[in-house]
Amino acid sequence: MSDSLRDQLIKAGLGKKSARAGAAKAKSTPVDKIDLAKAYRLKAKIDRKSRQQDKYQQQLQDQQRRHINQKIKAIVDAHAINDKDAELVRNFTYKGRIRMVRVTGDQLKALNQGSLVVVYLTGRYYLLPAAQAKQVEKISTAHVPDLSGDSPVGEQQHPVPDDLIW
């Protein structure tokens, strides 16, 4: 192991040979082209491995998401109390957008009191009793929208002045 790093790279075929080492050859350009070609192959191999790793990570995330959705679906199927004939609409913000869920009068009162909770699952919103919603929250907090109506952090930092005239 007394070889220098440069000598080890040259033996591995990754480095340029020095002028003394290349003096035996008539031209050094073929060596440069081979090194350049090896570099491109190495870069292509690294890029391919990177894409494969990204794809694998995405597959893992999808599998975890599906597993979480299956657990939540089991709870929702057993305890959802949505009424298909509900006429009232309860609006709330979820993921930066205004969403709605249809409720009856009694459900609206219970929802505002906190004994009912909205749970999001695969594009729909379900009403669940608070106890079951806590189970969903333990699995994933992202599936339970906050219905408190508190203003976002940005609005609290920049309140509207009382003397503002439009």
pLDDT of residue 64 exceeding 70: yes
pLDDT tens-digit map of 16-25: 654 454 544 5
Query: Residue 116: which of 95, 142, 92, 87 has the closest Cα?
Result: 92
User: How far apart are alpha carbons 143 and 123 in whole angstroms?
Assistant: 11
pLDDT of residue 27 exceeding 70: no
- End-to-end Cα separation, the chain, in angstroms: 80
What is the predicted pLDDT for the residue at 31?
53
Residues with Cβ < 8 Å from 120, sequence gap 6 or more? 94, 126, 143, 144, 145
pTM (predicted TM-score): 0.59
pLDDT tens-digit map of 129-145: 988 888 888 988 888 88
Query: Any idea what the Cα angle at residue 75 is, between residues 65 and 134, rounded to 5°?
Result: 90
Domain boundaries in the chain?
A: 80-151
